[in-house]
Amino acid sequence: MTEQTTDTRPAAPTPRRSWLRDHSELGVCVLLLALGVLVLTDALTMDVDIAQRGPVGPRTVPVVVGCGLLLVAVLLAVDVLRGGRGQAETGEDVDLSEPADWRTVLLLAGVFLGAAVLIEPLGFPLAGALLFWGAAFALGSRRTDRDPLVAAVLSLITYALFNNLLGVPLPGGPLMGAL
């Protein structure tokens, strides 16, 4: 009787596929490069005639951020091509064997979308309170006695800081006269 061996190992990947898999971080480089080009394009085509009052204008920060994104993309690409690899997740609070919690992700996305839709008719104080309360609920807080109050206080403080101290006008909605 002859002995037969069956090889159950998967077939070796093709050289091209293996190279792409080994250098998958280059996808992040492409994303950073595209984002940097987008930011720089928007910054350099911005109309700033009425807002320019000195050497530092509204284009300064976007240009710095865009150049930073391009620099990071190039440095990361060089590191990856030289053999650098990102480290695997080792956080003790992350269990990689568990599936993603899509319910929480979808609840948070709905809360953000709802706040974006409601900010104009309700104003920032009310839409922000709903945003903070909804986010707390989506992330697991079930304190219905405390959460709405904390959300309202956070929203009012945020509105006051941006509107009054920083000079960034936020829609006040029906509360505009009261605040």
Over residues 63-90, the mean pLDDT reads 87
Over residues 36-50, the mean pLDDT reads 87
Query: What's the CA gap between 170 and 174, in Å, rounded?
Result: 13
pLDDT at residue number 100 = 81
pLDDT at residue number 92 = 66
Query: What's the CA gap between 30 and 173, in Å, rounded?
Result: 41
Question: pTM for this structure?
Answer: 0.52
- Indicate if the alpha-carbon torsion angle 87, 93, 99, 102 is positive or negative: negative
Task: Give the tens place of pLDDT for each residue, 111-144.
Answer: 999 999 999 999 999 999 999 999 999 999 999 8
Closest CA to 120 of 169, 64, 49, 65: 169
Q: What is the radius of gyration, based on Cα positions, of the chain?
A: 25
Closest CA to 173 of 125, 131, 130: 125
Percent of the chain exceeding pLDDT 90 equals 50
Query: What's the CA gap between 142 and 20, in Å, rounded?
Result: 45
Q: Is the pLDDT of residue 175 over 70?
A: yes
Q: Residue for token digits 């595209």?
A: 34
Token pair for residue 101? 């919690």
Q: Is the pLDDT of residue 88 over 70?
A: no
Burial of 21 (0-12, 13-18, 19+ CB in 10 A): exposed
